[in-house]
Structure 1
């Protein structure tokens, strides 16, 4: 009897524990409110005589920084300011020039903004106790990551592997490549046993495209975009309104779970392992 494609179909379910958690950096592990990328972008644009707001700088957050600058230049209001000043839209050569101005500022100042987010060290320690490997990736290029990693490690935040946005030829988010590079380096055998944790829409898309569980962070990251002191100063209703806005944004992006900050992650990992034990997949 001839074989048909159906004869080769089978159902494979994974019922084991989590193998790896892959973290973003700014707004996730360090830099509450994600200010290092945004504030430096504002300063870089100012050097070209273009004022951009913090809200505008946050719109493309999560992309590789060249792509972030390019996307900012396509925002209607920013493009109008650029045309007013230069008589034309922003070209790729302009993006290159802005990126060249941005990079030294980012390298110099990344440590200034990158204190650990409360709970980060305890969560990482707990993952190691559970023998869960710790990966990471970022919209930062390698030269910035090389400055950030020792700064974070000196404060107790260190990972097993870190991928920068320019480490890989295919590019960065929202594609899956940085997340999958972690899978290879960490020796993960099952994508369903991985969790991607991120505070941005492109970062959630990255995890989904890599076939992972995704957890969005609302209060500590880019979507709310406030310092801890600013967040604490809000009245209860305003804080909740901003939190729900971030939850909605990240949920619409496809996040399986959305929590306030990394400190809330352990209970979510427990819930995912229960689902894995039932044979569920992301």
Structure 2
């Protein structure tokens, strides 16, 4: 890109750069509920609040009508903070054990990120994972060559995490960015897109590689063309309704979008 005004990409982790399908956190929520309270939730239910900090995610699951109804039937009362704590404390060691297994970058993403870094664009990152999980994931991803310029975790800040702007804005501080509107927030979940909007950034939603579709690459490839199109359309609608300025299939396809954003910045447009 010529006359680069974009200063940084603020990237999510699971489903955006690593862990095609955002499988690691989703499966562990199901396991943690089962292990802590012998309570069943589905993978689809586990995905609904994806992108939020993990304690907040568990609380949000407890408020889902389907989950809340079954919880009331099984326990006779709504989910309490103490029960959320118990599920969270069960979740954490399970997640730490699993996350490194899903640290491989999504296909074709690393050449694009390396090209952008060579053009002087900084790579920030933030996640719904707390720091103790990220301290496992970050070196595992680095072994595959992914090394963002900074990362911010869901429990790093006093303010609650997504969809609030705080993690994205902490990236701005740590990277020394001049203007938030020169940043592009890239995410595969509704709370992550809302985070970028609330931070005053351009936002790019990823339809296929993360939570919006929620399949592994192998599962995706096994689907029929009609099944793929239905899932893609639903994901695009979900991310667009969340406010994404652009929606693409994968981070590997972002360079033309960044050129368009750069052109709009040159023309004086703001997100």
Q: TM-score range by the shorter chain?
A: over 0.9
Is the CA contact 1:21–1:194 (under 8 Å) kept in the aligned structure 2? Answer: yes
1:276 aligns with 2:265: yes
1:31 aligns with 2:19: yes
Name the residue aligned to 2:207.
218
For 1:80 and 1:228, locate their aligned partners in 2 and report how far apart those are by CA, in whole Å.
33
Name the residue aligned to 1:237.
226
Q: CA offsets per residue over residues 16-37 of structure 1, 9 Å max, x none?
A: 6100000000000000000111
Name the residue aligned to 2:189.
200
Which sits farther off after the overlay, 105-114 or 41-50? 105-114
Q: CA offsets per residue over residues 54-89 of structure 1, 9 Å max, x none?
A: 000000000000000000011112112222222211
SS at match of 1:112: helix
SS at match of 1:37: helix
1:246 aligns with 2:242: no
For 2:179 and 2:193, locate their aligned partners in 1 and report how far apart those are by CA, in whole Å.
19
For 2:194 and 2:233, locate their aligned partners in 1 and report how far apart those are by CA, in whole Å.
20
Q: Indicate the structure (1 or 2) with the bigger Cα radius of gyration.
A: 1
Is the CA contact 1:16–1:276 (under 8 Å) kept in the aligned structure 2? Answer: no
1:132-211 alignment to 2 at 5 Å?
132-211=121-200
Is the CA contact 1:218–1:246 (under 8 Å) kept in the aligned structure 2? Answer: yes
Q: Shift of the alpha carbon at 1:199? A: 0.3
* TM-score, length-scaled by structure 2: 0.97
* TM-score, length-scaled by structure 1: 0.93
Name the residue aligned to 1:57.
46
Q: CA offsets per residue over residues 204-228 of structure 1, 9 Å max, x none?
A: 0000000000000000010100010
For 1:147 and 1:51, locate their aligned partners in 2 and report how far apart those are by CA, in whole Å.
27
Q: CA RMSD in A?
A: 1.0
Aligned pair count reads 268
For 2:113 and 2:250, locate their aligned partners in 1 and report how far apart those are by CA, in whole Å.
13
Name the residue aligned to 2:252.
263
1:20 aligns with 2:8: yes
Q: Which sections of structure 2, spanning at least 5 residues, go unmatched?
A: none
Q: Shift of the alpha carbon at 1:114? A: 2.6
